[in-house]
Structure 1
Amino acid sequence: MIPVIEVGGTHVTAGLVAPADGAVQRRTHRPLDPGARAEGILGAVCRCADALDAPAGAVWGVALPGPFDYARGIGLFAGVGKFEALYGVDVRAALFAGMARRPGRIVFLNDAHAFLLGECSTGAAVGHTRVVGITLGTGVGSAFLADGRILYHGPGVPPEGRMDLTTVDGAPLEESVSRRALLARYGDPGADVRDIAERARAGERPARRVLDEAFGTLGAVLGPRLAAFEATALFVGGSMAGSWDLVAPALHTGLAKGGWTPDAADVNGRPPTRHTRAMRPAALAGDAALLGAARAVAARDTNRREPGW
């Protein structure tokens, strides 16, 4: 069994993954405050890991968002609205010191990369060879994958493979598409994104307009990149993907305006094939990143460098 952790903007999840079939056989979940002090954030991660009761000396996979030095295990969060207290912090050393059963090693990887790798292994991306994954939550995560490799440059690929480094009208993309962007545009200090979604479904026009503008903008920025990348599929994960009925229409419209039109039949539910331009929500939900993190550990333990890490 491979123990893994996925750190999100508002939660942390740990799981035990069976390497033979990729099944998550046990999982624990804890809320996480991205604005907390370093000891609060790392304490929540350690408590979640300890609840999994993995053996001492195990090799752990840890998927978490950037900016982060994944080779050294050091946080680089600055100006991204989350985990600012971890800037310059040696997260690897903190986990070694804070977990009740000390790991043997820790393998870090980007959470959006883990998400797409998980979907490619047993999820919605099976059968596609040039795919893009986007995670929508506190920010925008991204992964560009071709023939099993995570790419950081090339036609259509943004700087460092990160859509959060792209701009819209001179401003960072996350000023238009992120949790904080949606809340700022909606203007109700007592609302969260879940509230905006519920009000949009109930027919409230300002709520629907905020969502349509955000996801339409994302599609318009992504469309030209997907076309240049020659992607056959776009897969969307993260907490906002749970409101796919609200995300999909505006995202589809934006992608088409940007030059990459998803197959209409696929949008309406036909299973994706390598011959369609598929736009799909995550099939594995929260398990995708756990599976991707386990794949990273398995690749390292067989002395095979997984492309892109």
Structure 2
Amino acid sequence: MNSGGRPVVSVMEVGGTHVTAASVDIETRGLRFGGAFREALDGNGSAADILSALVRCAAHLPVQSPNRWAVAVPGPFDYERGIGQYEGVGKFDALRGFDLRAALTASLPDVADLSFCNDADAFVLGEWWAGAARGHRTAVGITLGTGVGSCFLRDGRVLQHGPGVPSEGRVHTLRYADKPLEETVSRRALRRAYAAATGEVPPDVREIAQRARQGDRAAADVFAETFGALGRVLGPPLAAFEPTVLVVGGSIARAWDLVAEPLRAGLTETDPAHAGSIVITSAQYPAEAALLGAAYLATAPVATALGEPRRGRTRSS
């Protein structure tokens, strides 16, 4: 874990189309050895194919001594045992029941420790430890992409229950217009709404965003309605949880100019008393936050020695 006397942990973030690996310097809260490395990954591939992509990506990093690894993966996943629980989520079906911990331990050199964490939790912890939520005791983060990821954080601890915290701390369990939230707020929902408004075969979200910026009224309305709805759904739980910052990441957050205003308007509509006091911001490290957060979770006692409050090694789905 040490490089030149400084604590370093190797990390990976696993997504549906790629895997990213990096070495995180715990002292500087940054990436080392050339930054992050990415390899393509087919989330619908076989377990062997997925494992091969992870091992190829990991090979870009120097071997530490001892070699401590932290891996951020989306749920549903048994983070304690390192076994996939995917079924009907559109990716990683081949990892259902697959012991990824054993497979990686056998495939990576000199593994001294290997931990897993939820990717949304890692993202928010990374922004709390080193990014946009740094200095805030109580924070909420969401990721916008194929669905809505989320994490409710207080004093560096991931919370799964309590005032304002949805079931398991997951915003996607909430409902809007008598439907699961992700039927309104997600990549597929945005595309479906644009198709319904225009009668066109919908382009991807990036193109819809560009059309909105170029004056396409239907595209602008889709963004306004989608993220206004998200704000209205988030209003009551945030009022009860009382965070001082809401950090937004994920691929759709790249269109922050189209997301921020309707999101705040929706929050204000349902929670006018508190919405004005919450800092609403895009991620400071959108590409690195999950890597940083995974490293933090894996080395919380080390981070404590370097000046952070003591935190548990949280495992959350």
TM superposition score category, shorter chain reference = 0.7 to 0.9
Over the aligned positions, Cα root-mean-square deviation in angstroms equals 2.2
User: For residues 214 and 31 of structure 1, do their structure 2 counterparts lie closer, same or farther at Cα, with a shift above 3 Å needed?
Assistant: farther
> What is the TM-score when the length of structure 2 is the normalising length?
0.86
After superposition, give the CA deviation of every residue in 1:266-306 in whole Å (9 maximum; x if it has no partner): xxxxxxxxxx4100000122111111111111126789761
| 1:6-25 map, 5 Å | 6-25=13-32
Residue 213 (1) aligns with residue 214 (2): no
Are the aligned partners of 1:150 and 1:307 in contact in 2 as well (CA < 8 Å)?
A: no
Instruction: Tell me which residue corresponds to 2:56.
Output: 47
Query: 1:94 pairs with 100, 103, 109, which one?
Result: 103
Instruction: Tell me which residue corresponds to 2:286.
Output: 285
Q: How many pairs does the alignment contain?
A: 296
Instruction: Tell me which residue corresponds to 1:106.
Output: 114
Give the aligned residue type for 2:134. V
Give the aligned residue type for 2:265. T
Query: 1:306 pairs with 267, 287, 312, which one?
Result: 312
Give the drift of 1:158.
0.4
Residue 151 (1) aligns with residue 159 (2): yes
User: For residues 34 and 195 of structure 1, do their structure 2 counterparts lie closer, same or farther at Cα, with a shift above 3 Å needed?
Assistant: farther
After superposition, give the CA deviation of every residue in 1:138-196 in whole Å (9 maximum; x if it has no partner): 21111101122111100110001111222223322112111222223333556222111
| 1:110-259 map, 5 Å | 110-187=118-195, 189=201, 191-259=203-271
Are the aligned partners of 1:43 and 1:98 in contact in 2 as well (CA < 8 Å)?
A: no
Are the aligned partners of 1:151 and 1:308 in contact in 2 as well (CA < 8 Å)?
A: no
Give the aligned residue type for 1:147. D
Are the aligned partners of 1:142 and 1:161 in contact in 2 as well (CA < 8 Å)?
A: yes
> What is the TM-score when the length of structure 1 is the normalising length?
0.88
Gaps of 5+ in 2: 1-7, 305-309
Of the two, which has the highest radius of gyration?
2
Gaps of 5+ in 1: 264-275
Give the aligned residue type for 1:68. F
Are the aligned partners of 1:9 and 1:138 in contact in 2 as well (CA < 8 Å)?
A: no
User: For residues 215 and 151 of structure 1, do their structure 2 counterparts lie closer, same or farther at Cα, with a shift above 3 Å needed?
Assistant: same
Give the drift of 1:58.
1.0
Are the aligned partners of 1:219 and 1:253 in contact in 2 as well (CA < 8 Å)?
A: yes
SS in 2 for 1:104: strand
Worse-matched range after superposition: 285-294 or 175-184:
175-184
| Identity over aligned pairs, percent | 51
SS in 2 for 1:71: coil
Are the aligned partners of 2:300 and 2:313 in contact in 1 as well (CA < 8 Å)?
A: no
After superposition, give the CA deviation of every residue in 1:194-228 in whole Å (9 maximum; x if it has no partner): 11111111111222222222211111111111001
